[in-house]
Amino acid sequence: MKTSSRCQRRLASLVLAAALTAAPSVLAQEEGGYAGTSNQGHTTVVYNFLKHFSYEQYYYSAYHQWTYNNNNRVDAMDIAIFAGHGSPWYFVGQDGSGVDLRTAGTSSNLGYGNWDLEFVAFQSCAVVPSPLEYSNWYTNWTKTGAVFDGLHQAIGFRNSSYQSTDQDVTETFGWYIKYNIGVWESWFYAINAEAYWYEDGSAVMYPTCDGDTYFNFAADPPANSSWLKVWYQH
């Protein structure tokens, strides 16, 4: 089942300002960051998010972290962020290996969320397509062997993500997340504030997780659900 929603490119700052009163009490959440290259600034892009927290993992991205060893890496976190090069449902790690999110859950570790992960962010080109790019935007996230196995939200870009703004987007995203603003909303606010006007975010989620914040979120979705909702900028 699919649900799609459009979102104006610029969200109302008044609502955000009203929500930023104080940071929540520190909870035992776990953060992981994974850089797709060692010499193109992606380590900084990842760190600019992680530095807002007492993070647990900060690695160069490698194939095993997202596939057959994900229970010890990405899926051991509550939120994970990748920065590097991507394309629809696909990105490349520092080890040179591509991760295909359509099949990354085929090992005994399954996809993401069956162990721990609630939220994953991709600071990469086009990893999270919207209905404007693909009418079947939802199938590749939920089919057998894909990665929605209890995952709440996957957020990223539906089109290009530019390296000249990436580090600013993740810096601002981390700040909003720390202050308990909604997860996908934080992503869109950060893009609005820091990215070029033609960079558009996209977020896919289990519908009951639409209102999740990092510190307050819905119960885990069933691992075999094919029900997804998307928000995207245009």
125-181: pLDDT as tens digits = 999 999 999 999 999 999 999 999 999 999 999 999 998 899 999 999 999 999 999
The secondary structure element, H or E, covering residue 185 is: helix 183-194
d(CA 213, CA 6): 20
- Residue 106 is predicted with a pLDDT of 96
> In CATH, what class is 2-18+28-233?
alpha beta
- Residue 20 is predicted with a pLDDT of 47
- Residue 181 is predicted with a pLDDT of 98
Exposure b/e, 128-167, CB count within 10 A at least 16 = b: bbbbeeeeebbebbbeebbbbbbbbbbbbbbbebeeebbb
Would you say residue 120 has pLDDT above 70? Answer: yes
> Where in the chain are the domains?
2-18+28-233
Task: Name beta bridge partners: 87.
Answer: 90
For CA atoms 211, 162, 47, 51, give the dihedral sign.
Answer: negative
The widest CA-to-CA distance across the chain, in whole angstroms, is 46
Would you say residue 66 has pLDDT above 80? Answer: yes
- Residue 6 is predicted with a pLDDT of 61
- Provide the pLDDT confidence category of residue 5 given band limits of 50, 70 and 90: low
Mean pLDDT of the chain: 91
- Residue 121 is predicted with a pLDDT of 98
Residue 52 backbone dihedrals phi, psi, to 5 degrees: -80, -5
- Residue 2 is predicted with a pLDDT of 53
3-state DSSP call for residue 79?
strand
- Residue 3 is predicted with a pLDDT of 57
- Tokens coding 103: 């099949």
- Residue 13 is predicted with a pLDDT of 36
